[in-house]
Amino acid sequence: MANEIMNRFAMDPFFDRLARRFFSPTEWENDTISNGDLKTDIKETDKDYMLKVDVPGIDKKNIHLAYNHGDLEINVDQAQASEKKDEQGRVIASERTHGVMSRTYELPGVDRDHISAKIDNGVLNIALPKSAESTENGNQIEIQ
């Protein structure tokens, strides 16, 4: 069952990271959100799918969830700014980063009206109850 779920995402984390390191080998990029992954654990039972997605330091207003046509979409848009000053209070470094992450999970047969999501200690928990017939209206999912 687990292999079947992972095969739906057609992703190979080893080669994905290897290619990213080859084309962007600098050390400082490892700390930016644009190079991050939405690390996910998925548990499937007869009644539902349970997802746990690592989103440390990301405010829920920057996370957008949608379920359409059997696919759960997670989009994260995060901007950060930092400033370093010397002893006299003069700015010696100012950095801004902006990153976007997105993942889509194929999770068919979900009861769209009863999906719930909650962030707890940097982990986004999403419960997608299964149903025989799904009523999809394409609306956003509110994170509690």
Dist CA 84 CA 88 (whole Å): 11
* Number of independent structural domains in the chain: 1
DSSP codes joined into one string, 61-130: GGEEEEEETTEEEEEEEEEEEEEEE-TTS-EEEEEEEEEEEEEEEE--SB-GGG-EEEEETTEEEEEEEB
Q: Please, which residues have CB within 8 angstroms of residue 77's CB and are 6 or more apart in sequence?
A: 62, 64, 98, 99, 100
User: Residue 130: which domain range?
Assistant: 2-141
The closest alpha carbon to 8, from 109, 140, 77, 123, belongs to 109
What sign for the dihedral angle of Cα 5, 10, 11, 12? Answer: positive
pLDDT, tens only, 104-117:
999 999 999 999 99
Average pLDDT, the chain: 79
pTM above 0.85, yes or no: no
Quote the percentage of the chain above a pLDDT of 70: 69
pLDDT, tens only, 48-102:
999 999 998 888 999 999 999 999 999 999 888 888 888 888 888 888 888 888 9
In this structure, what CATH number is given to the domain that contains residue 24? 2.60.40.790
